[in-house]
Structure 1
Amino acid sequence: MENTWIYTCAEPIKIKQYLSQLGMGHRMFNDLKHTGTILVDHRPVRPTTKVLPNQPLTIKFPAESRDETVALSDLPFETVYEDDNWLVVNKAVGEVSVPGPTQPNDTILNRVTGYLVSQQAPNQRPHLVTRLDRGTAGLMLVAKHNVATSMISQQVQQHTMEKYYYAVVTGTMPEQHGMIEAPILRVPDQAARVIDEAGQPARTEYWVLAEQNGYSLVKLRLHSGRTHQIRVHLSSLGHPLVGDHLYGGEPTADNHQLLQAVELAFTDPFTLQRREFKAPLLPEIEKFS
């Protein structure tokens, strides 16, 4: 992996500080010192060197070989965007994000790994930046190497990466726009989460887009990242997702919850450009718009 930035500020800056501003974490910078190469103006330098205005800073890392514990799959996946650092995938309902006891092969991770190996990509160990439940369709961001994972982590942790979901719920929401703030607790030996003061803080923002025949189409943004957050919060208001049997939603003909990750936006730390993506609504969700 190799990437170059042109430093445009007026005052000199230490390489570590500059890379930190771009998003690189402390652990990755330590890896860079020991296994990578740092160049300023195309000349190798020490990690303590300062970058001057208008100088190019280049970092190089060894390629990542594949994780042999991840089985290769040649099943297809829908690619929305791809470059040297990122893949944006549009996951279908029923597809699983990562291998587990019930689905060890053919997950999105297996498929992307198989694709990178088949393409003889320099880096063959993808990292899922975002994940979705089996029953949730929509956009997922995949980093093609661990440097990309490190560089995007601040946006994930600080929730400046924008992810918007569309959902169909039963009933009429209490307001056209609101914030649900309720702590979520994991109960041992239970799949479902519950609202409980002993849980972790969680905030979900919503906008009502349409209402018809006793259902509401809502757009949601997570301001925290708890398991089942949207499902728990909407159910706690008495408006469970249609198709979400775990949290009291009424059944659907194809037996899946009407929830989709439709919009994804982030600042690319390698190009400093804003990247925005939008998936077409599933027909079963679009009919409520």
Structure 2
Amino acid sequence: MINIMFDHPDFVVIDKPTGVSVHKDDQAVSFVAKLQQQLNEPQLFLVHRLDKITSGLLILAKKTTANGLLSSTFQQRKIEKYYIALTDKRPSKKQGLVKGDMVRSRRGTWKLQRSAENPAISHFFSYGCEKGLRLFLIKPYTGKTHQIRVALKSLGSPIIGDKRYYPTPDETIDRGYLHAFALQFYYQDQLIQLHCMPNTGRLFTLESIQQQLSQLSKPWLLNWPKV
């Protein structure tokens, strides 16, 4: 069963599990079709997407009108998204902006360029935690493919468990440690504010991580710069 975080007559916000593709891929029944069955909804529309490794908050519209309205809100960058990620590598800077054009690289990966013609833009804060771990809180202002994964790799801090950007033979790593943590947006003059703690991943359960996440449950209150 998929955890439902917010149920509105026009849309639903779920906690997408890690390791699940929102596309049909090779699945006999797509993720969206399974969710339709669970909610007894005749049709659901993906308003946005999360990578397969990413867990957390995902919006699906129940109606075509709601899909158009929410999709337009996304395109206008009026839906604030906040992600968390874990790394075991020290970043080149502990907070700030990552900005640059993204270009295709080898084997389905992307890389960040210094140019800024149509840049991916992300702001982040990071926090030192136990056992050499660092927790990132990231607010992307754009929605490019693999944007956060590439941004953190460009800082020298690839995400633990991201097999595409940080391959490692360590068999104790149980997931990709990227999670869609919070959302803030207006829908028909109603303010929607949601946050979702990760519910899988051994490292996410560490006490220092849990304590830091509890302090970040309202990330929209932090001093994010305007872009």
Q: Shared topology, TM-score over 0.5?
A: yes
Q: Which residue of 1 aligns with 2:12?
A: 87
| Same amino acid, percent of matched pairs | 25
Query: Partner letter of residue 112 of structure 1?
Result: L
**Correspondence for 1:112:** 35
Answer yes or no: is the 8 Å Cα contact 1:207–1:218 preserved in 2. yes
Distance 1:139 1:247 in 2: 22
Max radius of gyration: which structure?
Answer: 1
Structure 2: segments with no counterpart, 5+ residues: 210-227
Per-residue deviation, 1:170? 2.2
RMSD of the alignment, in Å? 2.2
- The CA distance in 2 between the partners of 1:181 and 1:92, in whole Å, is 29
- Give the superposition deviation at 1:152: 1.6
Q: Which has the higher contact order (CA 8 A, sep 6+)?
A: 2
Superposition pairs of residues 1-289 of structure 1, within 5 angstroms = 76-100=1-25, 102-107=26-31, 109-116=32-39, 119=40, 121=41, 124-187=42-105, 190-196=107-113, 197=115, 200-248=118-166, 250=168, 251=170, 253-269=172-188, 272-282=189-199, 283-287=202-206, 288-289=208-209
Structure 1 residues 115-159: Cα deviation after superposition (integer angstroms, max 9, x where no partner) = 35xx3x5xx221111221121110101110110011122320122
Instruction: Report the Cα offset of residue 186 of structure 1.
Output: 2.3
8 Å contact 1:177–1:207 — kept in the other structure?
yes
Q: CA deviation at 1:267?
A: 0.4
Structure 1: stretches of 5+ with no match in the other structure: 1-75
* Per-residue deviation, residues 210-254 of structure 1 (Å, max 9, x unmatched): 333322101001111111111111111111001112112544624
Match of 1:18?
none
TM-score, normalised on structure 2? Answer: 0.81
Give the residue type in structure 2 aligned to 1:83.
H
TM (norm. structure 1) is 0.65
SS of the residue aligned with 1:165? strand
